[in-house]
Every structure is written in structure tokens, then in C-alpha cells.
Amino acid sequence: MYHNEKKDTSDYIFGIRPTIEAIKSGKEVEKILIQTGINGELFGELNRLIKEYKIPTQYVPIEKLNRITGKNHQGIIAFVSPIAFHEIESIIPTLFEQGKTPLILILDRITDIRNFGAITRTAECSGVNAIIVPTRGAAQINSDALKTSAGALFKIPVCREENLKNTIDFLKESGIQIVACTEKTNDYYYNIDYNAPTAIIMGSEEDGISPEYLKKSDFKGKIPLMGEIGSLNVSVACGIMLYEAVRQRQIN
């Protein structure tokens, strides 16, 4: 079992020095909000750490920071993840060494926290070996996500990747087929063979999977829709895809 849990599960910290110390102590910082126009020697030290650890940042007006906390934030609020992130490059070889057939889930810009938590719960129940999310444009892993996941976020490895394109290339080079869940195909999801090592990509509800990732997919499958609404909730669609893989692997 992979252990992701950390002692400190607070959603954010604030202040320049506390953020510097949090990074140096090894805490998983998901994102840092920085007040527009901030400078100074201490901020320079923080900025160097941000670049070294490739931490996502966003420059925002002071009003946004004040809405998050009324305390002396010094122009810095850092969102701290309650889980430890993993490296997909380490997970895949281990799975093959153990004689397992990898089932990986790639989430392309799933930003709704509750959707992400629900997806993680389904992924853990269906035996997914790892979830891959982008460094930017992904739901924040906070207490809401943990609650919705019913603890699954402490049991399944989550890999945060700077470049999903490169990650997909790595998976393909490792012998893992890429399956995209998309309406932009005439093929149905249940006609794909999931008995091979597989990574399933789920896209955002707004515009689906990014075109560059669709092009890299080995297979594209759509879920038939019989009603008038044009799409399923992404967490529901994800469950359908994953349990088709479970079904096929159980009967073979």
C-alpha cells in the first residue's frame, strides 16, 4: 500500500517565512498565491525555492488574499497538500516487476474538488494503480477532496506532472496503451480491449480532453447517451470507463 497521509492536513499557510520553512521541510505545496508587486530580499529567497521546486504560482491582488485570511499574510498564501505526491516513473517499473497489468488514470484539467474526490474513490475501488494530474489546472487537494474521496486519497498514489504530454509519451514507451474517453469518435468504449496495460484519460467537463492528448491516444471511446443532455458528469463517466476495464479483466 502507498502511504500518502501527512500529520498536517491544514489547507493553507500564510506569510513569507512560514512558506519558506514549509517548502524546506518537505511539505507538498500545491500552489502559492502571491500579491501583485511584492518584492524584497526575503521574497527573493522564496522565489528561488519556488523555481527550484517548480511550485505553481499565481499573482493576485491583495483583496483576494484578504478574502482568504484576515491575518498578516505578507502577500503570500501557500496551499499545502495533505498527501505526498509520487513519481509515475517509479511506479510503472515496480508494477511490471510485480507482475501486475497497470491501470492508470489521467485527469486532464479536472478542477471541481468534489468530482476529483469522487473519481479518486472510484479509482481506488476499481484497482487503479495511480492517478496522474497536471501541475496546473487541477483540483486542489484539500479537506473537501479528502472527505469526498472517503479516504481513498490516502491509499492511491497521485502523481503531479509538469507536462502531461511528456508523461503520456513515457507511458506509451513503457508499453501502456492510451485510451481517451471522448465524444469525438464513432467507437464505443466497450469495444476497446482493456486487458493490456492501460491508461485512461478523462477530460474537463467544459471542453473535454486537450487535442494534443487526443492525438496521442491509441484508442478513443465514447459512452452512448440516450437522453437529451449532451454529457455525463465526469466522475460518473470515469466510473463507467474504469469498471469496463474491471469487467473485462475479471472474465479473462
pLDDT per position as a tens digit, 71-100: 999 999 999 888 888 999 999 999 999 999
Indicate the number of domains in the chain. 2
Parallel, antiparallel or unpaired: strands 76-80 and 29-35: antiparallel
In a shared domain, residues 202 and 98? yes
**Percent of the chain scored above 70 by pLDDT?**
96
Amino acid at 55: I
In a shared domain, residues 235 and 197? yes
Query: Regarding predicted confidence, which is higher, 30 or 163?
Result: 163
In a shared domain, residues 60 and 92? no
Rg of the chain taking only CA atoms, in angstroms: 19
Contact status, residue 193 vs residue 238, Cβ threshold 8 Å: no
Which stretch of 11-20, 163-172, 195-204, 238-247 has the lowest confidence by average pLDDT? 11-20
CATH code for the domain of 222? 3.40.1280.10
Question: What is the Cα–Cα distance from 153 to 96, expressed in whole angstroms?
Answer: 23
Helix (H) or strand (E) holding 57: strand 57-60
Helix (H) or strand (E) holding 55: none
Question: What is the Cα–Cα distance from 217 to 42, expressed in whole angstroms?
Answer: 45
In a domain, 108, yes or no: yes
Domain boundary among 64, 80, 96: 80
Domain boundary among 29, 51, 80: 80
Reduced to 3 states (helix: H, G, I; strand: E, B; else coil), residue 224 is coil
In a shared domain, residues 76 and 98? no
Dihedral over alpha carbons 137, 56, 163, 144 (to 10 degrees): -40
In a shared domain, residues 135 and 47? no
Phi, psi of 85 (to 5 degrees): -85, 155
Question: What is the Cα–Cα distance from 164 to 202, expressed in whole angstroms?
Answer: 13
pTM of the shown model: 0.82
Most confident of 8-22, 25-39, 109-123: 109-123
Condensed to tens digits (0 to 9), the pLDDT of residues 148-207 reads: 899 899 999 999 898 999 999 999 999 999 999 999 999 999 999 999 999 999 998 888
In a shared domain, residues 103 and 226? yes
Residue 112 is part of which domain span?
88-251
In a domain, 6, yes or no: no
Domain boundary among 25, 57, 80: 80
In a shared domain, residues 198 and 218? yes
In a domain, 209, yes or no: yes
The mean predicted confidence, pLDDT, of the chain is 90
Q: Number of C-alpha atoms within 13 angstroms, CB side, residue 108?
A: 25
In a shared domain, residues 234 and 125? yes
Question: What is the Cα–Cα distance from 104 to 132, expressed in whole angstroms?
Answer: 8
